[in-house]
Amino acid sequence: MQVTILGGGGFLGRRLAARLAAEGRVGPTPISGMTLFDLMAPAPLAAPFPVRCLAGDVADPAQVAAAIPPDTGLVVHLAAIVSAQAEADYDLGLRVNIAGTEAAIAACRALPQAPRLVFTSSVASFDGGQAAVVPDEGRQMPTNSYGAQKAIGELLLADATRRGFLDAVSIRLPTIMIRPGRPNRAASSFVSAVLREPLLGLPATYPVPEDFRVWVASPRRATDWLLHAASMDTAPLGRDRGINPPGLSASIRDMLDALEVAAGPAARALVQHAADPQVAAIVAGWPAAFAATRARHLGFTPSEPLADFITGFIADDLEATRADRARG
């Protein structure tokens, strides 16, 4: 079976690709080859099967079709314009987040057999703010363009599944922390920064009150969820292809407390509040917690505690991030 990861050059795409390379299969099915597709060609990956690393535009149907060979059994669609950038550039968000999903559907529709397509949606497709604990049947009412575009993508993929073009599972990812590397243009970038930067000996700021809660997941757990979605039995999903995975609700204070335990008071002292009304307005509508009962019944592993987020980052990503940041 061939596997294609759209957005395969990003940190989550690379992590998923490495896990697939190490395991050599999707569920019980051996992988015969993998394609990593991104705006810039992803770095080569060692694997026991051929790996293609392609540069291209996810909104170009021909380029996406070329990245999805006829014997593809799994497509993981991670490519996206993230929250603050999608809010700042409406047309770019539509082009990548909507036209890119349409291109993925068209490519899957042309295959001789419908593949599994795992789509990374987002908690940003919901509203409710700090008072919310979103039930599994909660209605998606985005408060930002990124969330709206993700919700539209989910509907398109659910309809494509109904039509038999593909077999979709949409994972509404929490905010992923601790992200390696450098800050990005996501509105939630500060959530990783308040832990990552002090671990590097650098200052960090957050634009919300210290008691502001965020629904979060670690890169390790998010990768587990994507792998489970790639091979799970989708019959129990019926027509509802959206999954709220079992993340963790944590306040900024919780994060700083965990940081102090792991790295000491001096690390915590590097983190300060700094108002940013634009970012605060975007994240204010995001729900602080989800029930995620259905996901647990479907076999999705619950989040680990915050302390493990920090030890996981130190083990997996700290040195590489330090080296990356040292390069300027």
Average pLDDT over residues 128-135: 93
Q: What HEC string does the chain produce?
A: CEEEEECCCCHHHHHHHHHHHHHCEECCEECCEEEEEECCCCCCCCCCCCEEEEECCCCCHHHHHHCCCCCEEEEEECCCCCHHHHHHCHHHHHHHHHHHHHHHHHHHHCCCCCCEEEEEEEHHHCCCHHHCEECCCCCCCCCCHHHHHHHHHHHHHHHHHHCCCCEEEEEEECEECCCCCCCCCCCCHHHHHHHHHHHCCCCEEECCCCCCEEEEECHHHHHHHHHHHHHCCCHHHCCCCEECCCCEEEEHHHHHHHHHHHHCHHHHHCEEECCCHHHHHHHHCCCCEECCHHHHHCCCCCCCCHHHHHHHHHHHCHHHHHHHHHCC
Summarize pLDDT for 44-68 with one digit per residue, the tens.
Answer: 999 999 999 999 999 999 999 999 9
Q: Which of 186, 245, 185, 188 is nearest to 212 (CA)?
A: 188
Domains identified in the chain and CATH numbers: 2-176+217-243 (3.40.50.720), 189-214+248-288+305-326 (3.90.25.10)
Summarize pLDDT for 104-117 with one digit per residue, the tens.
Answer: 999 999 999 999 99
d(CA 289, CA 223): 20
Summarize pLDDT for 235-275 with one digit per residue, the tens.
Answer: 999 999 999 999 999 999 999 999 999 999 999 999 999 99
Q: Which of 107, 123, 103 is nearest to 217 (CA)?
A: 123
Per-residue pLDDT at 163 exceeds 70: yes
Average pLDDT over residues 189-207: 96
The predicted model scores a pTM of 0.95
Inter-residue contact 172 to 295 (CB < 8 Å): no
Inter-residue contact 208 to 220 (CB < 8 Å): no
Q: Is 146 a catalytic residue?
A: yes
pLDDT given at position 306? 97
d(CA 263, CA 195): 10
Tell me the pLDDT band of 282, cut-offs 50, 70 and 90: confident
pLDDT given at position 43? 95
Q: Which of 146, 190, 212, 286 is catalytic?
A: 146
Per-residue pLDDT at 213 exceeds 80: yes
Sign of the dihedral through C-alpha 221, 292, 294, 307? positive
Per-residue pLDDT at 160 exceeds 90: yes
Per-residue pLDDT at 185 exceeds 90: no
pLDDT given at position 119? 98
d(CA 110, CA 304): 40
Average pLDDT over residues 284-312: 96
Summarize pLDDT for 3-26 with one digit per residue, the tens.
Answer: 999 999 999 999 999 999 999 999
Per-residue pLDDT at 327 exceeds 80: no
Average pLDDT, the chain: 96
Average pLDDT over residues 125-136: 93
pLDDT given at position 325? 85
d(CA 215, CA 246): 9
Per-residue pLDDT at 297 exceeds 90: yes
pLDDT given at position 328? 63
Cα 139 off chain centre by: 20
